Amino acid sequence: MPVSNDSSTPASLDETDLRILEVLADDARITNAQLASKVGIALRPRTPE
């Protein structure tokens, strides 16, 4: 997904992005694992900082 640092240029959202927003709008307290499962994407393991 293109990301813009210029606030006047909106970033494009694909179908996955829109589905993520839809799921979060329904339940913003969902875990990352639940979100990934509902959207149909792989949960990436957390990398240590």
pLDDT for 49:
74
CB atoms within 10 A of CB 38: 16
Give the position of tokens 């829109």: 18
- Total domain count, the chain: 1
In a domain, 19, yes or no: yes
pTM greater than 0.85 (yes/no): no
- Residues 6-49 pLDDT 10s: 666 678 999 999 999 999 999 999 999 999 999 999 988 878 87
**Domain containing residue 32:** 14-40
Cβ pair 14, 1 in contact under 8 A: yes
In a domain, 31, yes or no: yes
Q: Which residue has the higher pLDDT, 4 or 44?
A: 44
Give the position of tokens 């990934």: 36
